[in-house]
Amino acid sequence: MCDTFVALANSTADGSVIFGKNSDREPNEAHELVLIPRAHHQNGEKVSCTYIELPQVRDTNAVLLSKPFWIWGAEMGANEHGLVIGNEAVFTKVPYEKEPGLIGMDFLRLALERTSSANEALALMIDLLETYGQGGNCGFKHSMFYHNGFLIADPQEAWVFETAGKHWAAERVKDSRSISNVISIGSSWDFASDDLVTYAIDKGWCRNKDDFDFSRCYSDLIYTKFSDGHHRLCRTTELLSSHIGEIDVPFAMAVLRDHGPDTDEDWQPGKGIFGAEICMHASFGPVRGSQTTGSMVSHLKPGLHTHWVTGTAATCTSIFKPVWIDTGLPEIGPAPDGTYDEATLWWRHENLHREILRDYSTRIKPVELDRKSIEKTFTQEANALTGEMKSLRKALSQSCFDRAQEAEADWLKVLKDSPINHHRSVLDKHAWEKFDRQADRL
C-alpha cells in the first residue's frame, strides 16, 4: 500500500513543483536506490523487464529509481529531464492477468527511460497498456495481483492515470493532487479508453453514461476497503489543501511521516490489527503486512531538480538525503536483498528502525528532534547550490549520506543502552520476531 502526491507551481511556497511518495511493501522487501546513466542501444536489442522482454529503443534517459530490489521497474523515480512518476496498487472488478507480463513498476521505468515530459509519459504508458496489458505477480514472499494508478509530473504539469485491466482514465492536475490504493477518478476526466463506460454498462455496474463513475463502478469494494486507501487519500488531500501556497520540501517530508490526525505523544505503531496511515507500519494481522520501505520527495525548480531520498524504511525513523541525477549516486555500499546484510544501507538502518519499535513512543522523540535539525541543515546546504555547481552538489550528496549514517549509528548506540519504558503489544512483538526470522536477522 502506498501514497503519492504532487503540488504544482501555483500551490508551493517558491513556485516549484514538489512531488512525494512512500513505497509500502513487505517488511523485509528491501528497497534499493539505483541510478542508471543515459545509454545508446543497437537496433534489434531487447530490454528484459521484470517478466517479459520488449524491443529496446535507440536512446534511454538517465534515471534515478527507488525500487523493490527484485523488480526491474520501480515504485517511484525520476529522469534527467525532471520527469517524476509514482505508482499505486488499485483493486478492481476487472480480472487480474496472472500470467507474467508488464507490471505497474515496469510501466513507470519504461516511461522514465523513454520520455521527457509528463505528456509524453502519459501517451507512452497508454500505448504500452493497450498493446501489452498488465499482469504478473507483484508480491515478494506473498503473491499479489493488482492493477495500477500513477501520478506523473514534470516541472510544468502533472497527470493522474488510473487503470483497470486495459481500461483507463487520465485527469490533468490543476493545483495539488494525491493518489492512494483506490481509483480516485470519478465521473469526470480529460481522457479515457474508448470502452471505459460501455464496459461498465455491459457488466451491469451502472445503468447508463449519466450513472457512470469510474471509482464506484470499477473498484473491488473488499480489497479497496481493507487497503484503507480512502482514509489515506482523504488525509493527504486535507494536508495539501490546507497548505496551498505554503507547500515546501520540509512540509512534503512531514506529509510522508504523517501518522494521522489523532496521533499523540503516546502513539504506538503496533497498536491494533487494522488501520493504515501515510507513514505505514507493519504489525500483526492479515491486513497489516505492509511497511513503508522507501520514500522520495522531488523538488523541481527550473534548471535544478533535487531528489530527496531515504533509501531506508519507516519514513519517521529515516533521514532524507539529496541526490542529483547528473552527479550520480554517492557511495552507499552493496545492493540489498531480502536477507539481512549489515553492509547494505537499507538493512543497516533496519537495526535502528527495529530497535526504535521496541519502545516507539519513547525512543522516537530524541531521534525526531535530531533528525529535524539534520534535515534542516541538509536543505539549507542544498538550497545554497545552483545547477552549475555540479562538483559541489556531488560532494554535498556524499556528505549528507555520510552524516546521516553517523547520526543513525549514534542513535542506535544510545538506544541499545536505554531502558524500555513502554512495552509494545504481544502481537506486535510476535509479528516483528517473525519478520526477523524470515530475514535471518537473529
Where are any strands of DSSP class E within 291-393?
291-301, 304-309, 321-323
Q: Is 2 a catalytic residue?
A: yes
> Which of the residues 2, 49, 217, 400 is marked catalytic?
2
Closest CA to 345 of 318, 364, 325: 318
Nearest to 27 by CA among 183, 135, 142, 137: 142
SS3 content of the chain, % helix, strand, coil (to 5): 35, 25, 40
Beta bridge partners, 158, equal: 153
Checking phi first, is residue 150 left (phi over 0); if not, alpha (psi -120 to 50) or beta?
beta
The upper half-sphere exposure of residue 115, i.e. CA atoms within 13 Å in the direction of its Cβ, equals 25
Which residue is listed with cell 494525491? 178
Q: Show the cell assigned to 315.
A: 519514513
Cβ atoms 155, 91 nearer than 8 A: no
Widest Cα–Cα separation across the chain: 65
Which residues are catalytically annotated? 2
